[in-house]
């Protein structure tokens, strides 16, 4: 699985970082960093990744194949 991030939609709520801290982080300006950009989400992080997608209140994250 891969995740597409719409950075322009992200409002920096940080819910994804709570659900999947190994995949997402926010900097001091609440700008999102996605640590698996351009690659598949590791198998052991897929459940957390889907929880992060579901938690985003502005739908800035979506699963792709």
Count of domains for the chain: 1
Q: What is the pLDDT of residue 65?
A: 79
| Spatial separation of the C-alpha atoms in residues 23 and 62, rounded to whole Å | 14
List the domain range (segments joined by +) for residue 27: 2-64
Output the CA torsion 31→7→22→16 (10° steps): 90
How high is the mean pLDDT in each 10-residue block of the chain (65 residues)? 97 97 96 96 97 98 93
CATH of the domain at 56: 3.30.70.20
Q: What is the pLDDT of residues 37-49, one digit of tens each?
A: 999 999 999 999 9
């Amino acid at each position: 699985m891969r995740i597409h991030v719409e950075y322009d939609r992200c409002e920096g709520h940080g819910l994804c970082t709570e659900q999947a801290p190994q995949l997402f982080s926010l900097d001091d300006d609440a700008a999102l960093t996605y640590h698996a950009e351009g690659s598949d989400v590791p198998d052991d992080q897929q459940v957390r990744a889907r929880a992060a997608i579901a938690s985003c209140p502005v739908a800035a994250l979506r699963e792709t194949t």
